[in-house]
Amino acid sequence: MVVLLVAAAVTVYGFYSVSRTKVDAIPDLSENQVIIYTEWMGRSPQVLEDQVTYPLVSNLQGIPRIKNIRANSMFGMSFVFVVFEDNVDIYWARTRVLERLNYAQRLLPQGVVPTLGPDGTGLGHIYWYTLDAPSYDLGELRALQDWYIKFALQTVPGVSEVASFGGFQKQYQIVINPIKLNYFNIPLRDVLQQVKANNNSVGGGKFEMGGRGYIIKGVGYITHIKDIEEIALKTQGTIPIQVKDIATVQMGGDLRLGIVEENGEGEKVGGIVVMRYGENAKEVIDLVKERLKSVEAGLPPGVKLKVAYDRSDLIEATIATLKEAVLEEIIVVSVVLFIFLLHVRSALIVVITIVMSVLISFIMMNWFNVSSNIMSLAGVALAVGDLVDAGIVMVENSLKAISEGEG
């Protein structure tokens, strides 16, 4: 009775562990690291290396339980990779890095602010999508991705970041005529300061009249190209010199370091869903797909979402293949046992032992946070053949002892 009760408890808990075990296509063997990203556009790689990367690396070296620190400087950007020991909690590591960044901030140039990368891993890219809209330009699609789709997907549980790619990031561009600038004797610094100062809203306090209070505010945020063109830079006599007198204002795209093309059909705009560290990939992908259905309902006419990469297809194919392999192996073993032992109950004992061993494996995987992937499930499939030997020996020995006792 005790053996049956223990076996029943293990079976129930084993099936519960199977439903709770994280599912992924391949095991995550990436480094336990924290990425620090710093942007300083317009500067050469050597300037980034000397003024940003080197101060950051030199101040991050004292953090405990670090394996090594790697860095990379490129045009306008600096990346620092702080690699911790494998058993270090990722969020503890990010907290310690943030503590050092607060101290290192004073060593960086003014206006340069380092930021932490997403709390994901190298296998965090679980879902890619593109926007299929032939009648829209790349700037409009990128704005739709950055200000609508991205924010909707970032609220999905388990999603660390939604990275946008492709298209043009819209910006107001002031193309200054140096001849006119010199003619009106206006320094370039004054142009920058006046444009920055005029893109702001201010408060005017409260005005009471007739027993009512009216809140006064000055609206000054730039919303159109005309708002920039009419900014006054200086006064020459009684005539104001405006931005349109010395420059041309236009709507353009930010500097791009590359493009994204799909199947040779032209440029595309889309996003990459990055999964948070330690999450269940299959579960997060299902939640993302569910959210995308509601997002599509709010897209402009003619805009559709197209899947570029979906890891759940690989996950389902991997699990289905290994499930089939394990089932076939158990059937073959059962047939062999029935043929050689010629005793149904004895063969059934060995088969039950194999099934319970697989369930115990999933219990351990759940305890030690090991995902069900192509490597772990393949190990379970290979172990089924090894489990048969001990079961056959024990059952055959028991049958022999029982037969001798009855004789």
pLDDT tens-digit profile, the chain (407 residues): 998 999 999 999 999 998 888 888 888 888 899 999 999 988 999 999 999 999 999 999 889 999 999 999 999 899 999 999 988 999 999 999 999 998 888 889 988 999 999 888 888 899 999 999 888 989 899 999 999 999 999 999 999 999 999 999 888 999 999 999 999 999 999 999 999 988 888 888 888 888 898 988 888 888 889 999 999 999 888 899 999 999 999 988 888 878 888 888 889 999 999 999 888 899 999 999 999 999 999 899 999 999 999 998 888 888 888 778 778 877 887 787 778 777 777 778 878 888 888 899 999 998 988 888 888 888 887 887 777 777 778 887 887 888 888 76
- Which are the contacts of 385, defined by CB distance < 8 A and separation ≥ 6? 329, 333
pLDDT of residue 149: 94
Is 156:328 a contact under the CB 8 Å cutoff?
no
Question: How far is residue 296's CA from residue 149's CA, in Å, rounded to a whole number?
Answer: 9
Q: In a 3-state reduction of DSSP, which class is residue 366?
A: helix
Q: In the beta sheet, which residues pair with residue 272?
A: 128, 163
Alpha carbon separation from 185 to 92, 188, 228, 343 (Å, rounded): 56, 10, 20, 105
CATH fold, domain 170-253, is: 3.30.2090
Amino acid occupying residue 321: T
Tokens 């600096």 -> residue: 78
Q: Are the C-beta atoms of 194 and 232 separated by less than 8 Å? A: yes
Domains in the chain: boundaries: 2-25+315-406, 31-119, 170-253
Residue range 31-119, CATH number: 3.30.70.1430
Strand partners, 132: 304
Output the CATH code of domain 2-25+315-406: 1.20.1640.10
d(CA 259, CA 267): 7
DSSP 79-102: EEEEEEPTTS-HHHHHHHHHHHHH
* Distance separating alpha carbons of residues 295 and 141, to the nearest angstrom: 14
Per-residue pLDDT, 407 = 64
Q: Which two tokens stand for residue 260?
A: 């994204």
The DSSP bridge partners found for residue 301 are none
Report the pLDDT value the prediction gives residue 350, as an integer from 0 to 100: 79
As a whole number of angstroms, the distance between CA 349 and CA 407 comes to 23
Question: What gap in Å lies between CA 59 and CA 100, rounded to an integer?
Answer: 7
Tell me the HSE value of 284 on the side-chain side, using a 13 A CA sphere: 28
Radius of gyration of the chain, Cα coordinates, nearest whole angstrom: 32
Residue 198: exposure state from Cβ atoms within 10 A (0-12, 13-18, ≥19): middle
**The one-letter amino acid at 343:** H
Buried (b) or exposed (e) across 28-56, using 16+ Cβ within 10 A?
beeebbbbbebebeebeeebbbebbbebb
Helix (H) or strand (E) holding 327: helix 311-341
Q: How far apart are CA 101 and CA 36, in angstroms?
A: 9
Collapsing DSSP states into helix, strand and coil, what is residue 404?
A: helix
| Burial of 310 from C-beta contacts in 10 A (0-12 / 13-18 / 19+) | middle
